[in-house]
Amino acid sequence: MRGRGARVILSQINTPKTEFKSPLEVFKLAYEHEQFVTKLINDLMDVAIAENDHATKSFLNWFVDEQVEEEASMEIIVNKLKLIGDEGNGLLLMDKELSLRTFTPPVK
């Protein structure tokens, strides 16, 4: 059975990487992960469209929009880190900029 009420089977999640060569490597991996998450959401939306499940499509729209922002955010950080390189002052400024980010919960 597909759609609401279907049985969910979860699989094992691999242990995340914990050692990195540079901040750029960390954010490149984060950007790749955001692209992966986007694909998963798009795949879910494809199923909702194929099933003509309007409620699920409506639910997923927020996630689609959020992923556009998340990918863009990671891409901006990666591009800035490419410009900075291993330069200490630039990394310090980038760290300060990122520390000012705040979470804004979705409006219900």
Q: Please state the domain extents for the chain.
A: 23-99
- Inter-axis angle of helices 23-50 and 54-84, nearest 10: 160
Across 39-66, average pLDDT: 95
CATH of domain 23-99: 1.20.1260.10
Distance CA 108, CA 105 (A): 9
Tens of pLDDT along 72-107? 999 999 999 999 987 788 999 999 999 998 877 767
Angle between the 54-84 and 88-99 helix axes, to the nearest 10 degrees?
A: 150
Q: Which of 64, 25, 14 has the alpha carbon at shortest distance from 44?
A: 64
The predicted structure's pLDDT at residue 58: 95
- The whole-angstrom separation of Cα 33 and Cα 71 is 9
Query: Considering the entire predicted model, what is its pTM?
Result: 0.78
